């Protein structure tokens, strides 16, 4: 028999011992639920590539927010499908735009909810790009003004946090300036600082009707091969006044999350995107994976890599699993 001094297995013998030495915890406070607001009344349309995710009319958004709050979730992020799209994304900053209505409805239905508004143009432009397009090019500086206007209108509607996701250079600074100029110094900016041009956004574009009509998003979203550039993006957003940094997608980019965590002291968010959700769902539906365990394992890994906040379509299922305590027994 070997004479082993160190036996890591000792602390793994029983569930309560394992729970005691668990290094990373996932809690409902970490989770943010995405919701998609659409026109109409009593609309609840399931997204074909995302079972369990719906396009909801504003009345249904209110119900969903109240039930999320009752379930123990305290934050959500809103996306909008406008009545009509145009070249200038006017639906993004309309006083009575779909997201602005949804924000007010959530505030009434669940007053304590932290309301995050995704700030981008792709859901509102006819061409589906995240910025203004001229001669087939996505223009940076021309887009900033519209993004800033959108953020201010979301703040006016009652958003606590605006989350610019267009990947335009200078968007955080432009939005911070505009918010301050409109007396919204107290509204925070959660920057999609490190957003990769990922094939994992496919199902989201079904949900939000935001497939680009031509080309792709590689002239503004990042190349998946780049890590140093991610630090540069985060540096810039930090300097421009971001309150929260985000890395997106999450699971394939845990190394990037860890590097951002080690380098910045700001709160850090990760977005477990539509394709990450759809992959687990599809495999689970075919009986290839244990959905709840894979869900908790991926979410815990994202926390372990350094995320404080996780935006996930699994938010509801995760709070349910957490309150049953199954992960510690
Ligand atoms: C809009 C936006 C996207 C996502 C969040 N905000 C789509 C995109 O960039 O094409 C992706 C979210 C997901 O896939 O779940 N800019
Ligand atoms: Zn966009």
Residues assigned a catalytic role: 195, 248
- Residue 195 buriedness (CB in 10 A; 0-12 / 13-18 / 19+): buried
Q: The domain 26-328 is classified under which CATH number: 3.20.20.70, 2.40.160.10, 3.30.565.10, 2.70.40.10? A: 3.20.20.70
Measured by CA distance, the residue closest to atom 16 of ligand 1 is 165
**Reported confidence tier of residue 327, pLDDT bands at 50, 70, 90:** low
**Reported confidence tier of residue 222, pLDDT bands at 50, 70, 90:** very high
pLDDT at 127 (0 to 100): 96
Cα of 158 from ligand 2 centre, angstroms: 21
Cα of 217 from ligand 1 centre, angstroms: 11
Name the average pLDDT for the chain: 97
Let me know: does 121 contact 145? Beta carbons within 8 Å.
Answer: no
Percent of the chain exceeding pLDDT 90 equals 96
Measured by CA distance, the residue closest to atom 12 of ligand 1 is 273
Q: 207 by DSSP, 3-state: which?
A: helix
For the Cβ of 167 lying below 6 angstroms from any atom of ligand 1, the answer is: no
Using the predicted structure, report yes or no on whether residue 328 has a pLDDT greater than 60. Answer: no
For the Cβ of 201 lying below 6 angstroms from any atom of ligand 1, the answer is: yes
pTM above 0.95, yes or no: yes
For the Cβ of 125 lying below 6 angstroms from any atom of ligand 1, the answer is: no
Cα of 164 from ligand 2 centre, angstroms: 9
pLDDT at 248 (0 to 100): 98
pLDDT in tens, 97-110: 999 999 999 999 99
Q: What φ, ψ does residue 248 adopt, rounded to 5°?
A: -155, 135
Q: 38 by DSSP, 3-state: which?
A: strand
Question: In this structure, which residues have their CB less than 5 angstroms from ion ligand 2?
Answer: 120, 122, 130
Let me know: does 75 contact 31? Beta carbons within 8 Å.
Answer: yes
Atom of ligand 1 nearest to the CA of 201: 14
d(CA 83, CA 91): 8
Using the predicted structure, report yes or no on whether residue 23 has a pLDDT greater than 70. Answer: yes
d(CA 58, CA 100): 10
For the Cβ of 120 lying below 6 angstroms from any atom of ligand 1, the answer is: yes
3-state helix, strand, coil in the chain (%, to 5): 45, 20, 35
d(CA 162, CA 62): 19
d(CA 327, CA 125): 43
Nearest listed ligand to the Cα of residue 53? 1
DSSP string, 105-150: HHHHH-TT-EEEEEE-STTTBTT--SSEEETTEEESHHHHHHHHHH
Q: What value does the mean pLDDT take over residues 31-38?
A: 98
Using the predicted structure, report yes or no on whether residue 118 has a pLDDT greater than 70. Answer: yes
Let me know: does 67 contact 35? Beta carbons within 8 Å.
Answer: no
For the Cβ of 277 lying below 6 angstroms from any atom of ligand 1, the answer is: no
């Amino acid at each position: 028999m070997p004479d082993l001094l160190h036996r890591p297995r000792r602390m793994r013998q029983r569930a309560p011992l394992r729970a005691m030495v668990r290094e990373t915890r996932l809690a409902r406070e970490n989770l943010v639920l995405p919701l998609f607001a659409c026109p109409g009344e009593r609309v609840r349309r399931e997204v074909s590539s995302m079972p369990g995710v719906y396009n909801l009319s504003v009345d249904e958004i209110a119900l969903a927010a109240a039930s999320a709050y009752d379930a123990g979730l305290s934050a959500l992020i809103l996306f909008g499908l406008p009545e009509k799209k145009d070249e200038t994304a006017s639906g993004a900053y309309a006083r009575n735009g779909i997201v602005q209505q949804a924000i007010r409805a959530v505030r009434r239905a669940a007053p304590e909810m932290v309301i995050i508004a995704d700030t981008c143009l792709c859901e509102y432009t006819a061409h589906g790009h995240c910025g203004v397009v001229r001669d087939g090019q996505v223009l940076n500086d021309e887009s900033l003004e519209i993004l800033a206007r959108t953020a201010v209108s979301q703040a006016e509607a009652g958003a606590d946090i605006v989350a610019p996701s267009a990947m335009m250079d200078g968007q955080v600074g432009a939005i911070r300036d505009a918010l301050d100029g409109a007396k919204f110094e107290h509204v925070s900016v959660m920057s999609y600082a490190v957003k990769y041009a990922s094939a994992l956004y496919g199902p989201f574009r079904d949900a939000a009707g935001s497939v680009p009509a031509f080309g792709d998003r590689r002239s503004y979203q990042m190349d998946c091969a780049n890590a140093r550039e991610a630090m540069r993006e985060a540096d810039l957003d930090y300097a421009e006044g971001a309150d929260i940094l985000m890395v997106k997608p999450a699971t394939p980019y845990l190394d990037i999350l860890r590097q951002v965590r080690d380098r910045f002291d700001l709160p850090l968010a990760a977005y477990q995107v539509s394709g990450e959700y759809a992959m687990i769902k599809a495999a689970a539906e075919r009986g290839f994976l244990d959905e709840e365990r894979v869900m908790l394992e991926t979410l815990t890994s994202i926390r372990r890599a350094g995320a404080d906040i996780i935006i996930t379509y699994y938010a509801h299922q995760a709070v349910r699993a957490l309150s049953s305590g199954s992960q510690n027994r």
